[in-house]
Structure 1
Amino acid sequence: MPLDWEIWLDTNISPVIAKWMMAHLNVIVKSSYSLDLHFLDDLTIYNRAKSAGKVVLVSKDADFPELISKLGSPPKLINLKIGNCSNQILWEKIKPRMKEVLTILAESDIDMVELQ
């Protein structure tokens, strides 16, 4: 994935995942807590990501696919369809596909990818 894209993790994903993802992918990954977004509604987060430009949101929230379908991208979205689990299990489930998914989002007109 080009280094000019940032990944923003939604509030429902632990900041520890941001650290692991940044080390694995060698890109900028920020949690909603480091961005001070954790108390904001989804539309405000979407608008901030849109203003920032090349942002990929990672979320389990059903509202983001609707926002991106309705309002367009950027931001682009990795929609996680993985239930409650530990941080370690979540990372083990998404890690094998992250590079591929981010490349698809960065290099194509695809706005959203779902990971299960």
Structure 2
Amino acid sequence: MPHEQWEIWLDTQISPIIAKWMNEYTGYVVKSSYSLNLHFLKDSEIYYRAKAAGNVILVSKDADFPILITRLGAPPKLINIKIGNCDNRTLWAFLKPNILSAIDICVLSDVEIVELE
């Protein structure tokens, strides 16, 4: 499935600037929860909206999304970030070396959750 058919949605705790940088770096459509107007919703509501949208990869630090996807299935798929609170540059430095391979795993395989630690 070509990558143009997939969108990446960043969870609320990840700054919209990361969406911009990730879009420029990966070539994927990357949207922040703010641009999607999801920042005020519960995780379960975000999950169901992403499921309805189809080929969505959520990027989140939130422990609730792995539980939801394990229990209810994909889509959406998840890149689960295991890093504490940090500034945007530190987060991007953490993500950048591994984000393309994490996305490829989500897009090209049956793996539902990829953890970045």
TM-score tier after normalising by the smaller chain length: over 0.9
Percent of pairs with identical residues: 60
Shift of 1:2: 1.3
**How many positions carry a matched residue from both structures?**
116
Q: Tell me which stretches of 4 or more aligned residues in structure 1 moved more than 6 Å.
A: none
Q: 1:33 aligns to what?
A: 34
In the aligned structure 2, how far is the partner of 1:60 from the partner of 1:107? 22
Q: What one-letter code is carried by the residue in structure 2 that aligns with 1:87? A: N
Structure 2 residue runs without a partner (length 5+)? none
- TM-score (norm: length of structure 1): 0.98
1:14 paired residue number? 15
Q: Does 2:78 correspond to 1:95?
A: no
Counterpart of 2:31, as a letter, is K
Structure 1 position 63 matched with structure 2 position 64? yes
How far off is 1:64 after superposition?
0.1
Gaps of 5+ in 1: none
Q: Which amino acid aligns with 1:88?
A: R
Question: 2:63 is aligned with what amino acid?
Answer: A
Deviation digits for residues 50-102 of structure 1 (CA, Å, limit 9, x no counterpart): 00000000000000000000000000000001001110000001101111110
**2:110 aligned with 1:109:** yes
CA-based RMSD of the aligned residues comes to 0.7
